[in-house]
Structure 1
Amino acid sequence: MAAKHFINDPTHLVNTALQALTITNPSVALDAENKIVYRRPGHALQVSIISGGGSGHEPSFGAFVGEGLLSAAVAGTIFASPSAEQIRKAIMSRVDHEKGILVTVMNYTGDVLNFGMGVEKAKAEGLNVKMLVVGDDVGVGRKKAGKVGRRGIAGTVLVHKISGALAATGASLDDVYKVARLTAENIVSVGASLDHVHVPGRAAPSQDSDEALAADEVEIGMGIHNEPGSGRAKVDLPELVKRMLQQLLDSQDEDRAFLKVNSNEVVLMINNLGGVSVLELGGITAEVVGQLEAEYNIKPVRILAGTYMTSLNGLGFSISILNVVNTDIGGPSMLQLLDAPSEAAGWTAPIKKETWEAKSSKTREGETSAGKDIQASGLTVDPEIAKATLTAGLERLIAAEPDITRYDTIVGDGDCGIGLKRGAEAILQMISAIQLSGDVVVDLDKMVEVVENSMDGTSGALYAIFLNSLVHSLRQQGYAGEATPKIWGIALKQASDSLSHYTPAQPGDRTLVDALHPFIKVLNTTGDLRQAAEAARKGAEGTKGMQASLGRTVYIGGTGFEQVPDPGAWGLSELFLGLAGVKEPKAEDYIVI
C-alpha cells in the first residue's frame, strides 16, 4: 500500500482538485462551498443530469461534467457521500429545471439516502425529478448482498455517457430516464486489486493485519472503497481474468447471473482503479479481449480502456460489459449515444464510429530496405577464422556480464550487462546457424540487424549507429582483397567520427568511448589487435574514479564511480580482449570494490 502523498490534508486535496476541473475545462464552474461542479449557463435547454458521490473516484464524477455528459456533480469528502443539503442546492440552483432533471447515483447506502433526500425536497418544491440507482458490480453475489443489492462501480460511467448524449439531443425526461435505466440493467462489472488503498490524512494500517493482502494475493471483486469481494487468490493474470469473466458471464451461476448477453453488440470497458500503469493496463486489455473471443465468442463492437472511475491510486482494474439493446424510443441507438461527441475532461474515447465500423484488417507487410539485398564488397576474411575470433570475443563478453551488471548497479540502472549479453548471445546464435560468407561487409551487415533487434536502450543505439557506420566505411574503402588491420583501423576511425555526430562523448567523459578510442588509435598505429585490446582495457580501467559527464551516472550522484569502472567501457574492453585471444583473469583481479 502506497501511504505517501504530495497532499496529506484531505480537505485541501478535495477542494483543490475540484478547483482544477474549472481550470482544465472552462465550460464548467465550481460552487466551492457545496462542492458542486456544474455547467456554466448559456447552453441550449435540455434534461439536466446530476450525479456524484464521495471523492477519490476521479475522474468520476466532476470531470464528467460538460456538454454531452453530466450537468452537475456533487462531491463528498473522500469515500463519503455528500450531504442532502449539498445535493438539494445542486438540484435547485445549479442546473436548468425546464425540461426536468435526472439524478443518477451509485448503489451505496449513504449516496442513495442523501441523494434521495435531495430529490424528494426538490419534488416537494414542484420540480420534475427522477432518480436512478445503478448497481453493476457482480463481485458480491445475490446471497451476500441481500436486500442491499449490487454495488455501483465503473459501469455507471456508461450510464452517464449514454443518458448524457441523449439529453443533449433535446429528448424528454421520460426517454432519458428510460434509456439510462435500460443501460444500467444491461451492465455487469467486476474488479480486482492487488492491495488496499490509503486515504490521505489517515494512519496507515498495519501490513500484518488480517485485512492486508499478502504480496502474491489478489482480491477478486474488491469494491472501490476497499470493501472485500468474493475472495482472495494467488493467481496469474490469465487465471484472474478467467475467474472475473466467469463471474460476469456464467449463466449457470445462480448467485451472479445478472445479465444474459443476447446481443450481437457488446461494449467492453477496462477501467484503471488508479494505480495501474498505462503499459500494464494495455496487457490486461489484451488478455481480456483474447479470452472473451476464445472462451465466449464475444467480439466487442467498442472497447474502452482507461481511467474512468478510480479508488484513489488503487492497484487494480475492473471489467465492465454492456449488452447493447434496442432503446425503443425512435431516436439514436445506445452505440450512437456512446459514440456521440462530448466535452468533459474525464471522458476519453476519441475513436470515431466510422473507424470502429470499418473493421479494417489492412496491414503493411514486407521489407523495402535496400540493405536487405546488400551487395558483396570484395573485402574478405577467412570465414572460419572470423567465426572463431567472434566466438571468442562474444563468449568473453557474456562471461563478464555479472561484473558489468554489478558495476552498473552501483553507477547506473543495472541493465548494461544484460543488454550487452543479449546482443552477444544473439550474434552467437546467428553465426552458429548460418555459414559466414567471408565478405566482411555482407556478414557485418547481418550482425548489425541482429544488434538492432536484440539490444535496446542507449548502448543498443550507440552500437547500432557505430556498426552501421562501420559497414558503410568498409564499403567505401574501394579495396578488394583481404581486410587487413590497416583497413579495419581506417574504417573504425571513420565510424568513430560518424558516432561523434550523435553523441558528444569523448575520452574522459566516462563512457564506452574511453575504451573505443584507444583501441582504434593503437590499431591504426601498430596494426596489432592484441596491443589495441590491451589499450582498450587500460582505458576502461582509467574510468575508475572518473567523474561522469554523460549518461545516467550524472544524475545518480554518490561516490560509486570512485570504486568501479564505467560498465560500458569495461564491457567493450572485454569484447576486444576476447577478439584478440587474450586470456586474462576475471574483473575482480583488476578492480577492488
Structure 2
Amino acid sequence: MSAKHFINDPTHLVNTALLSIPHTNPAVQCDIQNKIIYVSPSALPSPQVSIISGGGSGHEPSFASFVGPGLLAGAVAGTIFASPSAEQIRRCILHRVDRQRGVLVVVMNYTGDVLNFGMAVEKARAQGVAVDMVVVGDDAGVGRAKGGKVGRRGIAGTCLVQKIAGALAARGASLKDVSRIAKLTADNLVSIGSSLAHVHVPGRSVAEGGDDELGESEVEIGMGIHNEPGSERKTTDLPGLVKTMLSHCLNASDKDRNFLDISGKDDVVLLVNNLGGVSVLEMGGITNEVVEQLASDWNIKPVRILSGTLMTSLNGLGFSISLLKVTDTGLGQGSSMLELLDAPSEASGWSAAVKSDTWSKRGQSTKQEEHDGVEEVPSSNLRMDPTFAKSALTTALNRLIVAEPDITNYDTIVGDGDCGIGLKRGADAILKMLEKSKKTEDPLVFLHNIIQVVEVAMDGTSGAIYAIFLNALAHGIRQNSSSSAQPITPEVWAKALSTSLESLGKYTPAKPGDRTLMDALYPFVETLSKTGDVDSAAKAAAEGAQGTKGMKASLGRTVYVGGEGWQGVPDPGAHGLAELLLGLSEGLKK
C-alpha cells in the first residue's frame, strides 16, 4: 500500500477530478456544487430515458466518466468511498437530466447508496416524475450465509448494466423496457475481485502495519471496492488465484455462492477489470490466464472480452472478473444484449472515441440553470384542520424530545449513541418550521414542509429511512386524492401508509424481528389499516418496540456490538418511533 499522493486534500481531489471531465468530453457539463456530471442538452438529438448512477468517489472512471450520449445521462459523486447525499441525487433527477421519457437510476448494492438514491427516487416520484431504480448486486465474494438480508455487493459488473441500459435508452426505448433490460442484465451477472493489498485514502493517517495488512506473498479473495475484507486469504500464484475466483463464480455445487448457472452452451461476456493499481502489461497476462482457464476448465469461450480499467478502488493492487450470461431481451433484432453492448457511446471512461462533430461544438454549452432550492408543491384535493394538525404534531414531537435521554442511553448500549440526538434534532427543526410556516389545509403541502426539514436536519441511516418513508407517504396521499375537495380520513392515511411501507421495503431488507424501528412501524401501519384507530395503532407500535428487548439484531450497527446489557433494552429507533406515535395519539385526543 502506497500512502503517497500528488493531491492529499480529498475534497480538492474529488472536485478537481470532476472538473476535468468536461475537458476530455465536451458532451458533458459539471455542476461542481452538487458534484454532478451530466449530458449537455445540445448533445442529445431527441428526448430519451435518462440513466443516472453514482456513488462514492474513488471508483473512477465509474461513474462520472461514463456520462455521455449512449451511456449515462448523469452521475452523482460522493466523497471518497461515501454515498452522495439524497439532495445531490434529487437535484440531478429534477434539474440536470431530461425527464420527459422518464428516469432510471442504477445503483450498486451498498446501504448508503440504496438509501440515499432511494430517498431521491421517492422524492422525485412525489413530484410526479416517472422514476425506476435497479440495484445491482453481482459480487460472489460474499456468499448467501454471510450476505444475509443485505445480499451481494455491487462491483464491476454494474458497468455492463449501465452500458446496455444506456444504449437501449439511446434507441428510444420506453422506461419500462429500459428498466426491465437493466434488471435482466443485473440478474445474469456474477463477479469477484481479489487484491494484493488494501489501499490508502488521501487525507487519512497511515496506520502502522498490523494483522489487517496482507503478507508479502498473500492475496485476498473477495475484497470489496471500499477496502472491505474479502472472504479468504491465501498464498498462491496467478493460475491458482484465477482457478479459485472462477470456481466461486461457476461451481454449481457451491450452494453458498452459486448465484447463476452458466455452462459452455451459453454465450458469455467476460470483463476483466483493473482495480486501479495493476499495470497494463500485467493486466494483459491476467486476462490471458482467465480466458485460457475458462476454456480449459469450464468449456466457456466468451463471445466478448473486455479488459481494462472501469471500476477501481483508488489505486487498488488487484483485479476483478465479471461474467455476463447473454440472455434474450425479447426486443427483437438490433436490441440484443450484445448489440447494445457493442453500440457506440461518447463517454471518456468507455472505449469509444468522441466524434469530431462533438468536438466542434466545444464551448457552445448552455449556461447552467440555477435553483434556489425552494420548489412549489402541487396541491391535492384533500383537506384537514391545520390548527388541529399542528397541535397534534407538536404534542408528538415534544414527547419525542422528552424521551431523548432514554433513547440516547439505549443507543449507547447497543449502538454509537447518536440515535436520540438525531431524532431530537429532527423534532426541534420541525417544531421551528411549524412556528414559521404558513398554515395550510392541504395535508400534502403540510407533509412536504415536514419532509424538507427531515431531509436537511436528520442524517445517517435513520434520517434516510424517515425521509424515504415520508416521501413515499406523500406519493401515497397523492394517489388517494379525490377529484374534488374532501376531508382526509383515517382510511386514506392508512392506505397511504401501507403504500409507503411497501416502498420502504425496496430500499431496506429490515422487517419485524430484525430489531429495528420496523418493529414499531409495521404494527402501527397494520393496526391502523385494520381498525382506523390511531390510539390502538400507537399502542401496537409501543408493544412492538418493547418486544425488541432480548431480540438479536440482524441488521444495523447493533449486529457488530459485542458488549453486555443489550438484552435488557429496546431498540433505540423503535422506542423513539413508538414515543412519537404515542405522542401523536395523545395530541389527536385534545
When normalised by structure 1's length, the TM-score is 0.58
Map of 2:14 onto structure 1: 14
Tell me what 1:228 maps to. 229
State which of 128, 131, 140 in structure 2 corresponds to 1:129.
131
Partners of 1:302 and 1:204 lie apart in 2 by 41
| Residue of structure 1 aligned with 2:313, choices 303, 311, 314 | 311
Q: Which residue of 2 aligns with 1:40?
A: 40
Residue in structure 2 matched with residue 217 of structure 1 by the alignment: 218
Tell me what 2:259 maps to: 258
More RCO (CA 8 Å, sep 6+): 2
Indicate if the aligned counterparts of 2:140 and 2:222 stay in contact, CA closer than 8 A: yes
**Residue 112 of structure 1: SS of its match in structure 2?**
helix
In the alignment, is the contact (CA less than 8 A) between 1:38 and 1:95 conserved in 2? yes
User: What residue is the counterpart of 2:389 in the other structure?
Assistant: none
Deviation of 1:330 after TM superposition, in Å, equals: 2.9
Superposition map of 1:81-100 within 5 A: 81-100=83-102
Alpha-carbon spacing, 1:40–1:323, altered in 2? closer, same or farther (3 Å): same
Matches within 5 A, 1:114-263: 114-207=116-209, 209-262=210-263, 263=265
Question: How far apart, in 1, do the equivalents of 2:352 and 2:252 lie?
Answer: 30
Could you tell me how far apart the structure 2 residues matched to 1:205 and 1:278 are?
Answer: 29
Deviation at 1:206, TM superposition (A): 1.5
Structure 2 distance, partners of 1:292, 1:20, is 38
**What's 2:458 paired with?**
none
Question: Aligned letter for 1:247?
Answer: H
Correspondence for 2:112: 110
1:117 counterpart letter in structure 2: M
- Provide the residue aligned with 1:5 in structure 2: 5
Q: Which protein has the larger Cα radius of gyration, Structure 1 or Structure 2?
A: 1
Q: Which amino acid aligns with 1:258?
A: F
Give the CA deviation at 1:264.
2.8
Amino acid at match of 1:112: V
* Separation of aligned partners in 1, 2:352 and 2:156: 15
Measure how far apart 1:157 and its partner are: 0.1
For residues 374-428 of structure 1, give each alpha carbon's deviation from its aligned partner in whole angstroms, at most 9, with x where no partner exists. Answer: xxxxxxxxxxxxxxxxxxxxxxxxxxxxxxxxxxxxxxxxxxxxxxxxxxxxxxx
- Structure 1: which amino acid aligns with 2:10? P
Instruction: Quote how far apart the aligned CAs of 1:301 are.
Output: 0.4
1:47/1:172 contact within 8 Å kept: yes
Give the aligned partner of residue 30 of structure 1.
Answer: 30
TM-score by length of 2: 0.59
Deviations 1:274-297 (A, max 9, x none): 000000000000000000000000
Instruction: Give, in angstroms, the shift of residue 110 of structure 1.
Output: 0.2
Q: Deviations over 1:37-73 (max 9, x none)?
A: 0000121210000000000000000000001000000
Q: CA contact under 8 A between 1:192 and 1:318: conserved in structure 2?
A: yes
Determine the structure 2 residue equivalent to 1:348: 351
Cα distance in structure 2, aligned partners of 1:194 and 1:349: 31
Partner of 1:74: 76
Amino acid at match of 2:50: S
SS of residue in 2 equivalent to 1:148: coil
The one-letter code sitting in structure 1 at the alignment partner of 2:208 is: S
Distance in 2 of aligned mates of 1:66 and 1:239: 39
Counterpart-to-counterpart distance in 2, 1:47 and 1:220: 37
Q: CA deviation at 1:210?
A: 1.6
Q: Structure 1 counterpart of 2:346, which letter?
A: E
CA distance in 1, matches of 2:41, 2:152: 36
Deviations 1:471-515 (A, max 9, x none): xxxxxxxxxxxxxxxxxxxxxxxxxxxxxxxxxxxxxxxxxxxxx
Whole-angstrom distance in 1 between the partners of 2:214 and 2:116: 33
Structure 1 runs of 4+ with >6 Å offset = none
Match of 1:326 among 325, 328, 342: 328
- Say whether the 8 Å CA contact 2:344–2:352 is kept in structure 1: no
**Counterpart residue type for residue 5 of structure 1:** H
Q: 1:229, CA displacement in angstroms? A: 1.4
CA distance, structure 1, for counterparts of residue 109 and residue 115 of structure 2: 10
| Offset at residue 349 of structure 1 (A) | 6.2
Q: 1:485-500 counterparts in 2 under 5 A? A: none
How far apart, CA to CA, are the structure 2 residues paired with 1:284 and 1:206? 31
- Paired residues in the alignment total 349
Counterpart contact for 1:306–1:348, Cα < 8 Å: no
Pair 1:335-2:338 in alignment: yes
Q: Do the aligned residues in 1 keep the contact of 2:121 with 2:133 (CA within 8 Å)?
A: yes
User: The residue matched to 2:288 in structure 1 has which SS?
Assistant: helix
Which secondary structure state, in structure 1, belongs to the residue aligned with residue 135 of structure 2?
strand
Q: State how 1:461-480 maps to structure 2 within 5 Å.
A: none
Deviation at 1:212, TM superposition (A): 0.7
In the aligned structure 2, how far is the partner of 1:205 from the partner of 1:157?
32
> Amino acid of the residue matched to residue 249 of structure 1?
L
Query: Alignment identity in percent?
Result: 68
| Superposed displacement of residue 205, structure 1 | 1.9
1:120 deviation in Å? 0.2
Contact 1:304–1:349 (CA under 8 A) maintained in structure 2: no
Separation (CA, whole Å) in 2 of partners of 1:226 and 1:93: 33
SS in 2 for 1:147: coil
Query: Deviation digits for residues 440-464 of structure 1, max 9, x if unmatched?
Result: xxxxxxxxxxxxxxxxxxxxxxxxx
Write the distance in 2 (CA, Å) between the matches of 1:157 and 1:200: 25
2:345 touches 2:352 (CA, 8 Å); kept in 1? no
- Residues 279 and 349 of structure 1: is their aligned pair in 2 closer, same or farther, counting only changes over 3 Å? farther
Deviation of the 1:261 alpha carbon: 1.2
Q: Is the 8 A contact 2:346 2:352 kept in 1?
A: no
Residue aligned with 2:61, SS:
coil
The correspondence of residues 401-416 of structure 1 with structure 2, limited to 5 A, is none
CA apart distance, 1:76: 0.1
Q: What do residues 551-573 of structure 1 show as CA deviations (whole Å, max 9, x unaligned)?
A: xxxxxxxxxxxxxxxxxxxxxxx
Runs of 5+ consecutive residues of structure 2 not aligned to the other structure: 354-590
**Matching of residues 347-496 of structure 1 within 5 Å:** 347-348=350-351
Per-residue CA distance 1:266-323 (angstroms, 9 max, x = gap)? 0000000000000000000000000000000000000000000000000000000000
Q: CA deviation at 1:161?
A: 0.3
One-letter code aligned to 1:78: I
Which AA in structure 2 matches 1:158? Answer: L
1:348 positional shift: 1.9
Query: What displacement does 1:228 show?
Result: 1.0
Encode CA deviations 1:182-227: one digit per residue, 9 max, x unaligned.
00000000000000000000011221x2211111110000000111
AA matched with 1:337: L
Letter in 2 for 1:113: L
Deviation of 1:329 (Å): 2.5
- Distance in 2 (alpha carbons) for counterparts of 1:128 and 1:260: 34
Amino acid at match of 2:350: W
Alignment of 1:48-59 (within 5 A): 48-59=50-61
1:206–1:212 contact (8 Å) kept in structure 2: no
Aligned-partner SS, 2:41: coil
Give me the whole-angstrom Cα distance separating, in 1, the residues matched to 2:266 and 2:216. 40
Shift of the alpha carbon at 1:113? 0.3
